Structure 1
Amino acid sequence: MKSTKPLSYAGNIIDGMTFRFANGQVTEVTAEKGEDTIKRLVEENDGGRSLGEVALVPDPSPISQSGIVFFNTLFDENASNHLALGSAYASSVVGGTEMTQEELAAAGLNRSTTHVDFMIGSADMNIDGIRKDGSVMPIFRNGDWAF
């Protein structure tokens, strides 16, 4: 998995990130810039090797179309499909905000002291869903919703 936009994290710019996943965990991470920072993030946080969020954002979003990288995740995440390393939001499962930490873990939510988004979307990104019967359902085509 490769990032498509730079990330500002803890006062450092990280750019050109590449992640390798196996069994739901980051097994390798490199970056063209800020590699030490992203490696520290992945290695030093419990749950930092697992995803806490998968977000689909169409490339034609106003933030993306502005062409500006804000170096502020709360803005930049609105420009692109993105993933987050670290903690999942309890509100992402029914009743999650009332669950204990143990119940959240049993429901499959990753728990971590961090939640860091990185952008992976682009104007040429295609995403498919696979149904239970094995058939393919287009979700994104050329960076936008396919339905």
Structure 2
Amino acid sequence: MTLLDDAPVHHAPVAVLPDATGMLAAAPVGATLVLLALPADPVLADRAERTVRRETRAEDRSLRLSATELAVVLAVPEADRDAVADRLLSVVERSTGLTAAAGVCVLTGRTDPLGLARAGLAVAWACGGSRAVRHP
């Protein structure tokens, strides 16, 4: 069971930004969109973003969706998705000194997966814990 199984969704569906959709469409078949929640502090958010980009070597495949969200498209085998999310959590925590939350979802053109990932991220941050949230 993941955090998403218990996450109440109290918001309207989130529209997928065209840039994020296009970025995923241009990626290799089977690519995964990794959605990371960044700290609210702009300095720490920038530090976390630089660290993730360096760790993933995905300069051209990452997009800052908002002040607190970073999307990175990676070619990750399905069996390794949770391990990749955990690794990204670790590097964000190390670079910011704060606990982090990460969501992994595959965009299919519908808004539900991204909305669910965001809901799970909000719950993870509210709990103060470091949890990898995965939505297949």
What TM-score does the superposition give when structure 1 sets the normalisation length? 0.26
Which has the larger strand fraction? Answer: 1
Which of 1 and 2 has greater Rg? Answer: 1
Which structure ranks higher in relative contact order (CA pairs < 8 Å, sequence separation ≥ 6)?
A: 2
User: Is the helix fraction higher in 1 or 2?
Assistant: 2
